[in-house]
Amino acid sequence: MSKAGAITATSALHLLEQYREGTSFFWSSPQHTLLAQGERMRFPVSAVQQQVISDSSGSSGTLDYIDGVHVAGVSSVIDQVKKMIQEAQQSGVRKPIVVGAIPFDPHQSAPELYIPETVQWADPPSPAANGSYEKRPAATGCVIDEVPAAEVYQRSVDHVLKQMEQGELDKVVLSRTLHVTSEHIVNTHQLLRNLFRDNAHGYTFAVPMSKLPERKSIITTDKCNSAEVNKEGNRTFIGASPELLVTRKGTMVKANPLAGSAARSDDPAEDRRRAEALLASAKDRYEHAVVIDAVAAAMRPLCKQLSVPAEPSLIQTNTMWHLSTEIHGELLDEGTSSLEVAFALHPTPAICGTPVQTAREAIGAQEPFDRGLFTGMVGWCDCEGDGEWAVTIRCAEVEGNALKLFAGAGIVAGSTAEAELAETSAKFRTMLLAMGLESPVSRSKEE
């Protein structure tokens, strides 16, 4: 297969060892492993900002959202990516590729997209080879703080459930964060190795983020703990997502939405019981059906044919079981890029809710933080339109000795605040285990 800027490496592990924090984009999927080095051209933040200002300058002063999607922000991102690729081609770059991540709401946060200097490809990771890696801690002496606190999150879930009783919402995904401060600078390369080792069947990624204005170290103190936050150095968005938003090869596209989850158990019998219970759960199957219906409806106008299985299946990660459905289609227009298909699907009810705009409003009212790149998309798109985009979940922002972990849970009729809190705690474990921690989700100091 000929890929943009193709330089074939010996193996996925070889690419992993060439990763350098701050200058490398790393991506592994069931299809490919990709390492992009250097930066030739970065997505200009002003491109979206100017379009949003223009869009909001009318007499009403309101932003143009259709079905919960900020139209100006989306069209500006797609147009700017096309422009970047064209400029790279005109400057002599053979088969340029755009890599990086796009936020949950491009109107609220800037995309982290760029055309790299060099690109190397290798085969997908091998579970056997990945297992040869020794897992070492990436962070030590950690202080963990919940934002929002568990009881606040549960009150938010209860509030949303009341909205559902009144018929305002069918589903909404509410998230929370863990702010982790390590005693020493986080070893981002080791964190990536650990994620890669434990998630061979998913989508492991590391995205270099734009530098923020210089600022002094911040001292954070609460009644339980105090820790010095050192945010000097590089910023990295890193994770291991189990969920494919879309992949495109030629005119063939595939989406793999996940919705409905259960925590894994170390006991094989109990683990199997939980999987079977998830597959039989009316509440989880309804949550999954809401997502599948929305994704299929978004893909149909783009496809000459679409295959949607009638029943979900199960997939597993090291920490979670998920209900899964693979949707396959053939594009009507061969000029529709993977990024355009991804934006047609985003945000799915799996990470936002339905109705989409009402769910967005509920998220804005209940979550005390900007999601940024969390529940956006990460991946790549080449000059021919081929590419892969995963949903940015099971992830964290890393800077210096500070990490911000994200996790969300889908709330539908029949949900309980206690169960949704437990689900977010289980989802945090992907990153916590990769850091070398267990899964404390209250303010605590690693012993």
Question: Tokens 């291991």, residue?
Answer: 240
Indicate if 254 belongs to the active site.
no
DSSP SS3 for 198: helix
Active-site hit among 3, 171, 404, 427: 171
Active-site hit among 146, 243, 340, 446: 243
Indicate if 243 belongs to the active site.
yes
Could you give the angle at the alpha carbon of 183 between the alpha carbons of 219 and 224, nearest 5°? Answer: 55
CB atoms within 10 A of CB 219: 9
- Cβ contacts of 36 within 8 Å, gap of 6 or more: 24, 25, 26, 27, 97, 99, 116, 118, 119, 120, 380
148 prior amide bond cis, ω within 30: yes
In angstroms, rounded to a whole number, what is the distance separating the alpha carbons of residues 435 and 142?
Answer: 10
In angstroms, rounded to a whole number, what is the distance separating the alpha carbons of residues 345 and 262?
Answer: 24
Q: Residue 247 forms beta bridges with which residues?
A: 254, 388
DSSP per position, 71-137: HHHHHHHHHHHHHHHHHHHHTT-SS-EEEEEE-S-TTTS--EEEE-SEEEEEPPP-HHHHTTSPP--
- DSSP annotation of 56 reads T
In angstroms, rounded to a whole number, what is the distance separating the alpha carbons of residues 52 and 65?
Answer: 11
Query: Mind telling me the catalytic residues?
Result: 171, 243
